[in-house]
Amino acid sequence: MRDMFRKFFQDEFLFHAGLMVGGMQLANFLSLLYHLIVVRILSYEEYGALNALVILALYFSQFAAPFQTALTRFLAVQIGRHQIVESRFLVRRATLHLGLISLIVVIAFAAVAGPFARMQQIGDTAEMLLVGFLIAAFLMAAIPQAFLQGAQLFAPLVAASASSALAKLVVGVGLVWMGYGVWGGLWGVLAGPVTFLVAGYFLAARYFARRVSAGEESHRVSLRPIYAYCLPVSAMLISYTILTNSDVTLVKKFFSPLDAGYYSVAQMVGKIILFLPGAVSIVVFPKAASAHSRRSPSGHLLKKGLIVTSLMCGAGTLLCVLAPGAILRILTGKASPGSTPLVPWFALAMSFYALVGLITSYNISIHNTRFIKYLMFIACAQVATIYLYHPGLGAVVRTLTVISIVSFLAMLFLSNESLKEC
């Protein structure tokens, strides 16, 4: 046992992966605790309004995801080559660009806050205006997130993420408990990315201050390659989103509300398994990008990531196969006959999609984009298959499982050259 722990701490990849998995679970727990407490204090109407406003902010902030991914890759490459001055310039220029976009977002929401609030049946216009600031904070948080991940500062990244979730919990619950209702809940959510921004930029400033001499001039770096790289990243993210979410949309279209509810409850268990090993991709991405920039082999990182992800998802799938009803009752409080048989299939499908997510993230990090057209084709094939063939919920989830396996095998085959490097 002692030798096993020694090997774990000596293996940088495993140590960082374990650190990120633990840190992300802590942040997720604090965020879940926020919702569990707030939903008990607010009325149904108030919590519904809060949830709708937060989802609206998250929807708009997703447009920063391709930019964050591209920026992470370029920072990982530059820092891997010890181009620290260029990295500092890149962070500053990215801050300026996203800062201007965030300002436009705030002004736009200020202009349409009234009509938008009425359309969403939100009584307080100021709450809709606050959503504009929330979107701006989420957009700006993409920069320190990209820097910390690209620089492989995983311990500070975990600390910043946990601090962000804790700030959300303390501020949000505190204000809601004091009677500020939806307004207080929104301020709590806003406290999260603002805390991450402050912590992230502080860590970035300290990092560059230690590595760049005083008075050393910044080397100009163009952001055009980053914006150009956003296109394939966007195509990848959209395709992956379709693969992992389109089935729910189609089930809602073709089945009764009750059946769609059964399906969604079972899918929630699968989504937990899908996101459980997400921290592994966060570790693999910058390490692979840095190694590729130095023309060093990076296939061993993918191999280790696949092993760790398989073990985590395999354990979750095994539990779902052995006790699907118990898992549903623990997580949702519901274990209806309509949902329980679907759980093992969802667990298996999302396990393979977790592996697909890791492989696609790895390939994007080493600038290998040839897999994207195949991923797009498979995503379209999944939608078409479920659209044309859906005799029952079981058939839909089994189709999802088969296509997830096909997706995994296809992405694995397209990454065969990297795996041969091991």
The pLDDT, as a whole number, for residue 7 is: 57
Residue 70: band (very low, low, confident or very high) from pLDDT cuts 50, 70, 90: very high
Q: Which of 160, 179, 211 is the last residue of a domain?
A: 211
Q: Which residues in 119-147 are b (16+ Cβ under 10 Å) and which e?
A: eeebeeeebbbbbbbbbbbbbbbbbbbbb
Please state which of the ranges 4-13, 55-64, 159-168 shows the lowest mean pLDDT.
4-13
Rounded Cα–Cα distance for residues 235 and 249 (Å)? 20
Whether residue 271 lies inside any domain: the answer is: yes
Same domain, 45 and 146: yes
Whether residue 16 lies inside any domain: the answer is: yes
Same domain, 203 and 56: yes
Whether residue 223 lies inside any domain: the answer is: no
Same domain, 23 and 171: yes
Whether residue 219 lies inside any domain: the answer is: no
The pLDDT, as a whole number, for residue 121 is: 61
> Nearest 5°: phi and psi at 179?
100, 15
Same domain, 267 and 196: no
Instruction: Indicate the average pLDDT of the chain.
Output: 86
Same domain, 206 and 268: no
- Report which residue type is found at 399: T
The pLDDT, as a whole number, for residue 387 is: 92
For residues 110 and 154, the answer to whether their CB atoms sit within 8 Å is no
The pLDDT, as a whole number, for residue 122 is: 62
Same domain, 152 and 262: no
Whether residue 290 lies inside any domain: the answer is: yes
Same domain, 181 and 261: no
Over range 134-147, report the average pLDDT.
Answer: 93
Same domain, 340 and 239: yes
Q: Find the domain containing 347 and state its range.
A: 231-419
Same domain, 248 and 131: no
Percent of the chain surpassing pLDDT 70: 91
Q: Given a cut of 60, is residue 5 above it in pLDDT?
A: no
Whether residue 27 lies inside any domain: the answer is: yes
Rounded Cα–Cα distance for residues 64 and 284 (Å)? 21
Residue 303: band (very low, low, confident or very high) from pLDDT cuts 50, 70, 90: very high
Of 13 and 151, the one with more pLDDT: 151
Residues in contact with 329: Cβ distance below 8 Å, sequence separation at least 6, in sequence order: 335
Residue 324: band (very low, low, confident or very high) from pLDDT cuts 50, 70, 90: confident
Q: Given a cut of 80, is residue 228 above it in pLDDT?
A: yes
- How many domains are there within the chain? 2
Same domain, 167 and 62: yes
Q: Which of 182, 211, 240 is the last residue of a domain?
A: 211
Prediction pTM value: 0.84
Q: Given a cut of 70, is residue 335 above it in pLDDT?
A: no
Same domain, 382 and 337: yes
In this predicted model, what pLDDT tens digit does every residue of 111-123 receive, in sequence order?
876 776 666 566 6
Q: Which of 162, 177, 211 is the last residue of a domain?
A: 211
Of 240 and 327, the one with more pLDDT: 240
Whether residue 218 lies inside any domain: the answer is: no
Please state which of the ranges 22-36, 161-175, 279-293, 383-397 shows the lowest mean pLDDT.
22-36
- Report which residue type is found at 2: R
Whether residue 414 lies inside any domain: the answer is: yes
Same domain, 248 and 349: yes
